[in-house]
Amino acid sequence: MKVNPTYERSLEIHLHGPGPSDVPEEVLRAMSVPTLGHLDSEFIRIMDETQAMLRVLYQTKNRMTIPTSGTGSSGMETLVANLVQPQDKVIVVINGVFGGRIADEVSRFGAEVVPVDLEWGTTVTPDEVREVFSRKRCEVLFLVHAETSTGAYQQHMREIGEIVHQNGALFLVDTVTSLGGIEVKIDEWGIDAAYSGTQKCLSVPPGLSPVTLNERAMEKVRGRKVKSWYFDLGMIERYWNEGHQRKYHHTAPVNMIYALHEGLRLVLEEGLDTRFQRHRKNAAALQAGLQALGFTYLVRKEDERLPMLHAVYLPDGVEEGKLRTEIRSSYNIEIGGGLGKFAGLAWRVGLMGYSSTEDKIYRLLNAIGEVFKKHGIASDRAAGSQAAKAIYKDPERPG
């Protein structure tokens, strides 16, 4: 069998789906640095710095802030395996695919799911949260901060956190798509535990899931039997947090941690505020461009739309899959299709991390405009990029 070396595949695809996002050169270079042993003192320094940078990003003092081995979903499994007990009642806000997955995961671990089923594309209100707690005593509330299947941006985080704590429950949050693109304030919002992923707004390849747990959550972890061996935080803590007495649990994915370290360094070099501002500004430009081309947003309330994920209905007469494939094959641009209820009806356009730049937005809107023109859907192929340009030129707009 003769196979060409992987590094000979040099075709560059511009990633504008719901993740993974484009990875900067520096991160790719970091991944190719020779592998160290997972208990090597030089590697331990990299681990310590990675944790310190994650705390800045998560805006937390939590000692238990580590990347778990596995994609974003491994963080979900870590939280459920360690914090949800079989007799627990767990409120899960379900307003899209990922809320649904959390409910599935919670029930697999034997707990009772108390679902808050919402129309997809909307988010939960503090009143709705109060109402569920008044009906039932629950130990945990779990929600998705940035629902990637619909583009919905959960508001009122601090207020929801307060309600959860008034009811003596733990507040668990999926921040896979939000971390690195919008504010995530773990301590200020009273989030007891959260997880994220490397492949969305951090612009690091898929493979790790940063998690953070406060002392309240860690109290619940300690002294109980965790159903998962691989994701047992009690054991993992002894590898990540024990100073020089570190104990091997499983071999850390060393080169992925190099990549995360470099990705986080780039995030902090840019600065959180500047980065969030960049995501907002570029989102406004993309939104103007997509609307000019005839797309409509699935999330109706404008302030509940995520800057990094634009879920849009296609104009009438568009063959969703066919055009998306054409954009991939003719322009080397990946766009996401609708997920769940929106399969075949919507596109999900990502502007995550390194994929969120003015240049990339023009390339994207021009490609869509050209394909639309070719298929007789739009008359003006440049309408999208012109509308975007007007946003960048508008001095009233922030950024």
Ligand X SMILES: *Cc1c(COP(=O)(O)O)cnc(C)c1O
Query: Which burial class, exposed, middle or buried, applies to 246 when counting CB atoms under 10 A from its CB (0-12, 13-18, 19+)?
Result: middle
Instruction: Tell me if 73 contacts ligand X by CB under 6 A.
Output: yes
Comparing CB distances to ligand X, the nearer of 148 and 214 is: 148
Instruction: Tell me if 199 contacts ligand X by CB under 6 A.
Output: yes
Comparing CB distances to ligand X, the nearer of 23 and 387 is: 23
Instruction: Tell me if 184 contacts ligand X by CB under 6 A.
Output: no
Instruction: Tell me if 68 contacts ligand X by CB under 6 A.
Output: no
Instruction: Tell me if 353 contacts ligand X by CB under 6 A.
Output: no
Q: Nearest approach, Cβ of 126 to ligand X (angstroms)?
A: 21
Comparing CB distances to ligand X, the nearer of 73 and 107 is: 73
| Interatomic CA distance for residues 342 and 279, integer angstroms | 24
| Interatomic CA distance for residues 291 and 89, integer angstroms | 42
Our CA angle for 260, 264, 265, nearest 5°, is 115
CB contact at 8 A, 228 and 77:
yes
Among the residue ranges 81-89, 132-140, 174-182, 219-227, the one whose residues contact ligand X (CB under 6 A): 174-182
Comparing CB distances to ligand X, the nearer of 174 and 370 is: 174
Our CA angle for 218, 93, 150, nearest 5°, is 120
| Interatomic CA distance for residues 337 and 29, integer angstroms | 31
Applying CB under 6 A, what is the total number of residues that bind ligand X? 13
Q: Can you tell me whether residue 223 is helix, strand or coil?
A: coil
Q: Out of 50, 68, 71, 356, point to the residue binding ligand X (CB under 6 A).
A: 71
Instruction: Tell me if 253 contacts ligand X by CB under 6 A.
Output: no
Q: Nearest approach, Cβ of 149 to ligand X (angstroms)?
A: 8
Instruction: Tell me if 176 contacts ligand X by CB under 6 A.
Output: yes
Instruction: Tell me if 19 contacts ligand X by CB under 6 A.
Output: yes
Sign of the torsion formed by the C-alpha atoms of 375, 350, 121 and 156: negative
Instruction: Tell me if 51 contacts ligand X by CB under 6 A.
Output: no
**Residue 377: phi, psi to the nearest 5?**
-90, -40
CB contact at 8 A, 347 and 335:
yes
Among the residue ranges 169-177, 216-224, 262-270, 318-326, the one whose residues contact ligand X (CB under 6 A): 169-177
Q: Out of 197, 205, 336, 369, point to the residue binding ligand X (CB under 6 A).
A: 197
Instruction: Tell me if 262 contacts ligand X by CB under 6 A.
Output: no
Instruction: Tell me if 177 contacts ligand X by CB under 6 A.
Output: yes
Among the residue ranges 65-73, 85-93, 350-358, 366-374, the one whose residues contact ligand X (CB under 6 A): 65-73
Beta strands 333-337 and 346-350: pairing type?
A: antiparallel
Q: Distances from the Cα of 385 to the Cαs of 69, 261, 287, 349, 368, in angstroms?
A: 40, 35, 11, 15, 10
Comparing CB distances to ligand X, the nearer of 20 and 384 is: 20
Instruction: Tell me if 148 contacts ligand X by CB under 6 A.
Output: yes
Q: Nearest approach, Cβ of 97 to ligand X (angstroms)?
A: 8
Comparing CB distances to ligand X, the nearer of 20 and 369 is: 20
| Interatomic CA distance for residues 206 and 19, integer angstroms | 9
Go through the chain and tell me how many residues it has: 399
Q: Out of 64, 66, 67, 72, point to the residue binding ligand X (CB under 6 A).
A: 72
Helix (H) or strand (E) holding 142: strand 140-144
Comparing CB distances to ligand X, the nearer of 19 and 307 is: 19
Sign of the torsion formed by the C-alpha atoms of 63, 66, 72 and 74: negative
DSSP assignments along 364-392, one per residue: HHHHHHHHHHHTTS-S-TTHHHHHHHHHH
Instruction: Tell me if 139 contacts ligand X by CB under 6 A.
Output: no
Instruction: Tell me if 239 contacts ligand X by CB under 6 A.
Output: no
Instruction: Tell me if 98 contacts ligand X by CB under 6 A.
Output: yes
The residue of the chain with the least Cβ separation from ligand X equals: 72
Restricting to residues 205-224, name those near ligand X by CB under 6 A.
206
Residue for token digits 């520096």?
Answer: 26
Contacting positions for ligand X (CB under 6 A) = 19, 71-73, 98, 144, 148, 174, 176-177, 197, 199, 206
